[in-house]
């Protein structure tokens, strides 16, 4: 009986005869010796024993292939190493480290073969740069694209931008050393048509939002400043300008636009005599706050008897928005010589009346007094009079008007007034 893998003829128990009885070479002893010689020479090649399965091998040392190749492999698989190979015996080895394929050359250099899914290129090449991505240098500039019609993003540290002169200086763009969060800086879509101030919103978008109009804000050299008359009442919040914010003597009448300072802009007790420069409160400013005056043109009133009903009327004072008592008086002009004189005849006196009307109603005599026959008089020619709007005269606050009316009782007297001013002041 011959074995299947090595063709050894084995004795058959109870059948094969002993040496000397069986034919030569067929005794059980001769068959066993021949089988032992075949077994001793077996090498598991074809006809020399059964092939060894993987389960039959326990590799516990390097396998020396004696300079021959391993062929017929489907693939090779590697165990990732915790560090690059560094033993003297590791030269010529291919291995995996850090999820990449490496080769250790015979000089002991570890050479990386792959990088993040791509083959590492030779010096001067870019790993992973495969079509449709491209990098082109032309006309002195690099063009980086991730696709045929799409420009590539760049991930890097600080960027230095040099001017295009051989020994030019550079400007470096650097992220904050300890940036709290990642963010994107987005440039404006287009340059502004005029000079503007750039701001950044919470999303990192830059916007040229605020206009440098040279009226409310201006730029001189490297400094922003407010031009003359650039800040008006609309730019100042209510109660924002207080006394402690204003340097002494820095606010003059020349710095304040007409009508820009109203009572609503002035804190109670904020304007004191120490804050007002000499001569800065003029008659025009007082009249705007409730005082009016009227100069009485110098005249000589003669031969105008009351009986003719053509008495002389002075100029008219007009005060609007009256809702408080009003003081009315006759005084002299500051730059003129004030005088009132009367030369009556026949022992008769002149009659002077203070006339008033409210809301364009009828003129009413508020008081009248006689001027003695002959003499010169100062302001006493008209007593100080306190007036007030009457609720029967229409809308309050009211518009009130005053004037002087002078008449004489005969036709030959003379009444002269010169350099006078009538004043009305709302208390």
- Which pLDDT value is given to residue 289? 56
* In the predicted structure, residue 373 carries a pLDDT above the cut 60: no
- Which pLDDT value is given to residue 310? 45
- Which pLDDT value is given to residue 83? 95
| 203-236 confidence digits (pLDDT tens) | 889 998 888 777 777 777 778 777 777 777 777 7
- Which pLDDT value is given to residue 379? 44
* In the predicted structure, residue 303 carries a pLDDT above the cut 50: no
- Which pLDDT value is given to residue 96? 96
- SS3 at position 210: strand
CA distances from 331 to 353, 366, 379, 381, 417 (A): 16, 18, 6, 10, 11
Task: Report the Cα–Cα distance between both ends of the chain, in Å, rounded.
Answer: 148
- Which pLDDT value is given to residue 410? 58
- Of the pLDDT bands very low, low, confident and very high (cuts 50, 70, 90), residue 107 is very high
Residue 138 DSSP label: E
* In the predicted structure, residue 288 carries a pLDDT above the cut 50: yes
* In the predicted structure, residue 298 carries a pLDDT above the cut 60: no
Q: Which residues contact 395 (CB under 8 A, 6 or more apart)?
A: 359
Percentage of residues of the chain with pLDDT beyond 90: 16
- Mean pLDDT, to the nearest integer, of 34-39? 85
Q: Is the peptide bond before 97 cis (omega within 30 degrees of 0)?
A: no
Tokens of 309: 């009903």
Instruction: Give the CATH number of domain 286-426.
Output: 2.60.120
* In the predicted structure, residue 307 carries a pLDDT above the cut 50: no
Cβ atoms 28, 11 nearer than 8 A: yes
Tokens 């090449």: give the residue.
Answer: 125
Higher pLDDT: 414 or 385? It is 385
- Mean pLDDT, to the nearest integer, of 35-49? 83
Among 221-235, 280-294, 346-360, which is the least confidently predicted range?
280-294
| 240-272 confidence digits (pLDDT tens) | 777 777 777 777 767 776 767 777 767 777 777
Sheet with 141-147: strands ordered across:
134-138, 141-147, 150-151
Domain ranges for the chain, please list them. 1-58, 196-230, 236-280, 286-426
Average per-residue pLDDT for the chain: 78
Strands 100-104 and 110-112: antiparallel
DSSP string, 268-279: TT---GGGS-TT
Give the pTM. 0.34
């Amino acid at each position: 009986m011959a074995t299947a893998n090595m063709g050894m003829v084995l004795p058959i128990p109870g059948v094969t005869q002993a040496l000397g009885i069986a034919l030569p070479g067929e005794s059980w002893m001769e068959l066993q010796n021949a089988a032992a010689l075949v077994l001793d020479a077996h090498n598991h090649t074809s006809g020399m024993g059964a092939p060894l399965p993987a389960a039959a091998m326990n590799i516990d040392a390097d396998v020396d292939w004696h300079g021959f190749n391993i062929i017929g492999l489907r693939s090779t698989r590697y165990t990732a190493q915790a560090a690059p190979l560094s033993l003297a015996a590791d030269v010529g080895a291919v291995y995996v480290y850090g999820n990449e394929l490496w080769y250790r050359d015979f000089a002991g250099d570890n050479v990386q073969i792959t990088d993040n899914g791509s083959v590492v290129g030779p010096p001067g090449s870019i790993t992973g740069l495969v079509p449709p991505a491209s990098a082109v240098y032309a006309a002195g500039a690099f063009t980086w694209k991730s696709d045929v019609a799409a420009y590539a993003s760049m991930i890097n540290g600080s960027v230095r931008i040099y001017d295009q002169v051989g020994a030019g200086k550079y400007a470096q763009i650097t992220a904050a050393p300890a940036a709290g969060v990642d963010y994107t800086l987005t440039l404006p879509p287009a340059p502004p048509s005029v000079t503007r101030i750039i701001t950044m919103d919470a999303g990192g978008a830059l916007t040229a939002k605020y206009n440098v109009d040279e009226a409310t804000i201006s730029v001189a050299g490297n400094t922003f400043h407010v031009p003359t008359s650039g800040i008006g009442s609309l730019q100042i919040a209510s109660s924002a300008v207080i006394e402690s914010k204003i340097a002494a003597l820095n606010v003059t009448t020349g710095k304040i636009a007409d009508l820009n300072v109203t009572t609503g802009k002035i804190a109670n007790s904020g304007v004191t005599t120490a804050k007002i420069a000499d001569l800065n409160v003029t008659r025009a400013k007082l009249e705007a706050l409730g005082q009016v005056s009227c100069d009485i043109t110098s005249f000589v009133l003669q031969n105008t008897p009351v009986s003719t009903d053509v008495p002389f009327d002075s100029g008219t004072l007009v005060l609007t928005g009256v809702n408080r008592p009003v003081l009315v008086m006759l005084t002299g002009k500051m730059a003129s010589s004030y005088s009132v004189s009367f030369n009556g005849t026949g022992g008769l006196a002149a009659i002077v009346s203070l006339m008033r009307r409210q809301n364009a109603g009828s003129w009413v005599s508020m008081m009248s007094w006689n001027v003695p026959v002959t003499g010169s008089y100062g302001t006493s020619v008209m007593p100080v009079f306190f007036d007030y709007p009457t609720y029967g005269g229409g809308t309050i606050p009211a518009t009130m008007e005053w004037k002087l009316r002078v008449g004489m009782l005969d036709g030959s007297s003379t009444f002269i007034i010169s350099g006078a001013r009538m004043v009305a002041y709302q208390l």
